[in-house]
Amino acid sequence: MIVDFLPELGRILGPQPAVAELGPAEAQNRFSRLFREFVGATTGPERPLVLFLDDLQWIDSASRDLMRVVLSNWSSSGLLVVGAFRNNEVGPDHPLMELIQDISSSGTSVTRIRLEPLGQESLDTFVADALRGDAEHGAPLASLIARKTGGNPFFVTQFMRSLAERDLLVPDRSSGVWAYDLDGIEKQPSTPNVVDLLAGRIERLPDAACEALKMAACLGNRFDERTLTIVSGGDRQHVREALRVALAEGFLLRGDEVGDANAGTPEGEGPSTYRFLHDRVQQAAYVLIPRSERAKVHVGIGRSLFAELSDAECRERASELIDYLRPGLHLVEESDEARTFFDLALAAGQKARGETAYAEALEYFRVGAQLSPSEAWDSEYRATFDLHLVIAECEYLSGHFDEGFLTLDDLARRAMTPIDRARVQILRAAQYETMSAYADAVEALRQGLAPLGIDFPERDSLESAVEREIDASQAELGERDIGELIELPALDDAAVKMCMRLLAFAWAPSYLLADVGMISWIPAKMVRLSLAHGNTEESALGYVVHGFTLGTRRGDYETGYEFGLLGVALNESLEDLRLRGKVHELFGCFVKQWRAPLADCIASQRTAFNAGLESGDFAYGSYGGFVETWYATLTRERLDGLEADYEPVMEFLRSIKNDAFLSAERLMLNWSLALRGRTDSPLSLDGVGFSEEDYLAGFGRAPFFRVFYDIIRLHLHVTMGRYDEAVRVAAAAEEVVHSVSGTIWPMLLCFYRAMAIAGSTARGTTVPGPHRGALSRDGARLSEWAVNCPENFAHADLLVQAEVARLETRDQEAADLYAAALDAARIRGFPGDIALANERYGRYWLERGQSRIGAFFLGEAADAYQSWGAQPAAERLRDEVAARSPTAGTASRDVSPAFDLLTPKLDLASPSDSLDFQWAMRAAGALASEIELDDLLRTLTKTLIESAGAERGGLFLGRGEDTTLRVWWDTHTGEVSLRAEPLDPSAEVPHSILRYVDRTSSRFVLDDAMEDPAFVNDPYVLSHRPRSVACLPVLHQGELLGAVYLENGLDRGVFTGGRLRLLETLTAHAAIAIRNSQLFGEIAQLEERLRAENVYLQEAIQLQHGFEDIIGESPALMGVLEQVEQVAGTDSTVLILGETGTGKELVARAIHRLSPRGERPLVTVNCGAISPGLVESE
């Protein structure tokens, strides 16, 4: 494209490949961008470039547009553009003034220099120097010249030349100065302007030179000798002699004097190109042609050139020939000649259109229309329709909207086929869309589709029509895989192709109108047309937006994602640059984030931005850059640098004057600046070139732009802990969120609104009625999204669930959910939400009275915010932690033992270790609660499976030959088995690694066992092919109790430093728990042994005496015991006598124990407690 614009460059670069065909607006955008990049690439401090642009008062629209793109926001050194124009011909409303203002307001430095007429003092000096005399000699002439010329420098020089030609200014050879006849000069007729003066000078030339200059004036400011010879109808030598005279008199400059690359001719024949000294000289020569003869002269020039030039030269110089002919077109009457010039006009118009010079192309096409015969609409309908359609297009692209609509109205009346009527309506819709009249654009497209047999549904039946269309598309898909649709045949039905174009065009304005029904119906209809007739370029767009419909309307995000992938693949397979930006932008904005990580969505938007620049589709290029900024703000590890990284997007939006999205992009960047504390306040977006008041004044009533402002403010308030105000902001956002359905913004509203509602409600209290339903709905939607894409939404879903559990005092469940949310946010890379989850977890502990643990997690939140770059939020939490620290320092009862045990083991300033700490604290508590060894081993195994990152592993207890395998697990098979068996000498366990740990009592780690020379031939490694391996000793007070073995067969380097520190902490607690369990077992065994021995002794005594309750050896007691033994075996009644306290009951029990009834109960009765009357009655 640059070579076509600068043919001389082609001699250096050689032939260039053809560029992709684009629509007219896209082609213009592409050329402007490429030319700007070309200038930037070829200039610099070491290779400066100065461009001088003269006579800018005549600048055409294409040149203005190109200058606007190239020079706006220009900051690189090495380029100086000098422009000159006549200020007396450029008023305040002149387009040049608007161009200069645009360039200046964009930030490019513009310096204005006004060249005033020469003052009398300067003129005195100039005249004195010209006369080679002193000031006194030249003063009278200088005063006279000032009166006659007004001090205009060019007028002054030409006036003095005319004086010399008339011998009124002559050299005085005796004095060496020029003498002048002041009286004679005074008597000369007055010339009101320099043109009249120059015309008089030209008339005094020889006739041949005068005629040559008049004919040259018709050719333009520059001309060549050959062309002048042709149009003059004379001999080239005579023409050359006439030009020599004009050169000598100063009316012309040779081409080599003005840097013309084609100045010379072979064999030293002299210059072949010339230019007029000044445009006023050309004007003066032209006015010498009588006005009545000018049209005839121009037609004669055109005819002469057409007769002499070859067909190829005529096509090459078509625009030049038409320019010569244009003033005399009304004299062209002969039909064959008119047809010839008609073809030339079309060729000139097409060339200008291809160079994106639409205003110039419009003029050439209008010449063609003027040359068309009156019966052209009847005799040559197709060519005439196409010509007037391209005229309407150029009117639209040149900004002449009113004229464009009039032309389109005429075309609509004359269109003879449905396809032609559709072409008219597409162009009409494009104009409406440019004017932001989206409803009118949709209506124009509806009118274009109706003659082709497709009617938009009526408004009252739209919803049912959408459902029928979706169901029909699913039915027609049948059992085919969605990916197979890329193999559909190419669509070759012209009418259906036109329908696809119209439908594709209608989707964007329908979306901007928030017409939920139409944005669902349109893609479903496009999919059905593709299924029935085959694929075309617009099918890719239809598949992508149908994926959006299936996700947002039916919750079938998986199928929607498959359709989106199909659309992207089809666009790539068709190598369709024209729609690439649209396809990738819509896929990444509406489909991809519901099934793929946001980092992948960033890649899609970057592709859209670059494709938009390359294809000239600046609208979707703008959208791509804008949407990428959303995703980057949410997922970027650090906020600093975001503004610099996305300044190219800002510069691009400024260069294309897309003020709406420029303001929205500035809003996005100020979001990150507010988080960093770089705006007027942490809750304000004002500052750095952005004003909330101005934004709302411009876009407050536009839902699409208002929603970004409201949800960003919601996020800022949640981040700063201003939950009550955040709830109010969320209510405003709810009113406009429909305008961005399908994007990430509804999810952000659900998440941060739920956090605001929960944050403003104390634990154990009921959420106020108006917000209870919102919290429930938000939680349900987040859960649905999390199921479809846990990478993006699991952490938000878990955190909201944790808040609900907190409110309902399901404390253990809440703690588990908070920890899971933290883990998910960390793994998926949402730094701001990591901080938020830490803060909410800390407040949960504070509400439960655990002040030190709560303060710890608030500190973790502060560190996370600090790491992200959100300084105000970090300072807010640090101040709160500092205020709580005296209380926390005395509340030792609030801190679990696990907290104190784990704190030295982990780097709690690290966000990842903070999450490991939370997990380890729970794990340590779980291990400490188990006493039985088997239960302990089950808990330890479950903990390792959840967190170690291992696929297989085992726990071994003992040392040396006494080592036993107690637990082995395999996540692939699901096997978790408790064992108590000695090591198998086979390769089923890693003997060499276990021996190393047994010998050294230190950990063993391999990043990749398959590549480690020392283990590559190990029997276990050869058999099981592990990659990452770790074996950690289980140590208790320096004593080796056993080892934990872990392996991962998929990835290398799984067991990193942080994970190993975590595992060592875990094994330390496991060692304590194992030792405690072992001690508990030993104590239990001792207790059992003592119990058994006690039973044995009691039985021995019973067997020997049966008097285990009576202790004594006196003769009297021994006599009583002998009597007891004698009587116990009989059935006799025994009366035992003795005073109180002598052991009568003990003797009675001894008799019972030794009696045949000894295994049966002994019933004792306290007779003292029975009334006498009762005994007597018995």
Q: How many Å apart are CA 848 and CA 812, to the nearest integer? A: 11
- DSSP, res 535: B
Cβ atoms within 10 Å, residue 101: 11
The answer to whether residues 873 and 682 touch, using CB atoms and an 8 Å cutoff, is: yes
Cite the DSSP H helix spans in 720-850.
Answer: 723-734, 745-759, 769-788, 790-807, 811-828, 831-847
Extract the tokens encoding 153: 């420098």
Please say if the pLDDT value at position 1175 is more than 50: no
Q: How many Å apart are CA 395 and CA 430, to the nearest integer? A: 12
Instruction: Let me know whether 608 and 715 are in one domain.
Output: no
Q: Three-state SS for 662?
A: helix
Cite the DSSP H helix spans in 326-417.
Answer: 335-354, 358-371, 376-379, 381-397, 401-414
Q: How confident is the model at residue 1145 (pLDDT cuts 50, 70, 90)?
A: confident
Extract the tokens encoding 274: 């010339």
Mean pLDDT of 272-282: 90
Regarding predicted confidence, which is higher, 272 or 294?
A: 294
The answer to whether residues 905 and 1064 touch, using CB atoms and an 8 Å cutoff, is: yes
Q: How many Å apart are CA 774 and CA 793, to the nearest integer? A: 18
Instruction: Let me know whether 553 and 593 are in one domain.
Output: yes
Domain boundary among 826, 851, 877: 877
Instruction: Let me know whether 201 and 158 are in one domain.
Output: yes
Residue 507's contacts (CB-CB under 8 Å, 6 or more residues apart) are 519, 522, 523, 541, 545
Helix (H) or strand (E) holding 967: strand 964-970
**Count of domains for the chain:** 7
Q: How many Å apart are CA 114 and CA 108, to the nearest integer? A: 19
1053 is a domain residue: yes
144 is a domain residue: no
Q: How many Å apart are CA 796 and CA 836, to the nearest integer? A: 10
Instruction: Let me know whether 846 and 701 are in one domain.
Output: yes
Q: How many Å apart are CA 743 and CA 752, to the nearest integer? A: 16
884 is a domain residue: no
- DSSP, res 906: S
The per-residue pLDDT for range 982-1030, each reduced to its tens digit, is 877 765 778 888 888 888 888 888 888 888 887 878 888 888 889 899 9
712 is a domain residue: yes
Q: Three-state SS for 45?
A: coil
Extract the tokens encoding 444: 């124009």
Of the listed ranges 83-87, 162-166, 417-421, 1086-1090, the least confidently predicted one is 1086-1090
- The average confidence (pLDDT) of the chain is 85
| Residue 659, domain CATH | 1.25.40
Question: In the chain, what is the straight-line distance between the N-terminal and C-terminal CA atoms, in Å?
Answer: 131
| Residue 168, domain CATH | 1.10.10
The answer to whether residues 803 and 610 touch, using CB atoms and an 8 Å cutoff, is: no
Q: Three-state SS for 1123?
A: helix
Q: Three-state SS for 1006?
A: strand
Domain boundary among 257, 291, 325: 291
The per-residue pLDDT for range 854-908, each reduced to its tens digit, is 888 899 899 999 999 999 999 999 999 888 765 433 333 233 333 333 333 334 3
| Among 1070, 809, 1078, CA closest to 926 | 1070
The answer to whether residues 301 and 232 touch, using CB atoms and an 8 Å cutoff, is: no
Q: Three-state SS for 922?
A: helix
Extract the tokens encoding 973: 């098979």
Regarding predicted confidence, which is higher, 975 or 728?
A: 728
Q: Three-state SS for 224?
A: strand
Instruction: Let me know whether 532 and 657 are in one domain.
Output: yes
Cβ atoms within 10 Å, residue 188: 14
Helix (H) or strand (E) holding 241: helix 236-248
Please say if the pLDDT value at position 1173 is more than 90: no
| Residue 816: per-residue pLDDT | 87
The per-residue pLDDT for range 495-523, each reduced to its tens digit, is 999 999 999 999 989 988 888 899 999 99
Whole-prediction pTM = 0.64
Instruction: Let me know whether 654 and 714 are in one domain.
Output: no
378 is a domain residue: yes
Instruction: Let me know whether 1119 and 1146 are in one domain.
Output: yes
Question: Could you tell me the sign of the dihedral formed by the alpha carbons of 940, 945, 949, 953, in that order?
Answer: positive
Q: How many Å apart are CA 321 and CA 346, to the nearest integer? A: 12
CB burial string 531-566: b at 16+ within 10 A, e below: bebbbbbbbbbbbbbbbbbbbbbeebbebbbbbbbb
Of the listed ranges 683-687, 1027-1031, 1047-1051, the least confidently predicted one is 1047-1051
The per-residue pLDDT for range 367-389, each reduced to its tens digit, is 999 888 878 898 889 999 999 99
Q: How many Å apart are CA 874 and CA 198, to the nearest integer? A: 78
DSSP string covering 121-157, please?
HHHHHHHHHHHTS-HHHHHHHHHHHHHHHTT-HHHHH
Q: Three-state SS for 968?
A: strand
| Among 720, 676, 717, 724, CA closest to 873 | 720
Tell me the residue range of the domain where 598 lies. 469-482+503-677
Q: In whole angstroms, how far apart are CA 259 and each of 255, 262, 272, 275, 1045?
A: 6, 9, 13, 11, 82
The answer to whether residues 550 and 563 touch, using CB atoms and an 8 Å cutoff, is: yes
Extract the tokens encoding 887: 């209380």
| Residue 888: per-residue pLDDT | 39
Extract the tokens encoding 264: 């010379």
114 is a domain residue: no
Instruction: Let me know whether 596 and 529 are in one domain.
Output: yes
Instruction: Let me know whether 752 and 857 are in one domain.
Output: yes
Q: What are residue 772's DSSP bridge partners? A: none
1008 is a domain residue: yes
Mean pLDDT of 252-271: 54
Instruction: Let me know whether 431 and 385 are in one domain.
Output: yes
Of the listed ranges 44-48, 288-292, 443-447, 1168-1172, the least confidently predicted one is 1168-1172
Largest CA distance in the chain: 186
Extract the tokens encoding 576: 């369709």
| Residue 891: per-residue pLDDT | 32
Q: How many Å apart are CA 1109 and CA 1124, to the nearest integer? A: 14
1104 is a domain residue: no
Q: Three-state SS for 1142?
A: coil
| Among 612, 705, 708, 699, CA closest to 653 | 612
Instruction: Let me know whether 644 and 750 are in one domain.
Output: no
Q: How confident is the model at residue 186 (pLDDT cuts 50, 70, 90)?
A: confident
Domain boundary among 105, 137, 164: 105
The values of phi and psi at residue 390, to 5°, are -70, -30
The values of phi and psi at residue 210, to 5°, are -65, -45
| Residue 5: per-residue pLDDT | 67
Instruction: Let me know whether 38 and 97 are in one domain.
Output: yes
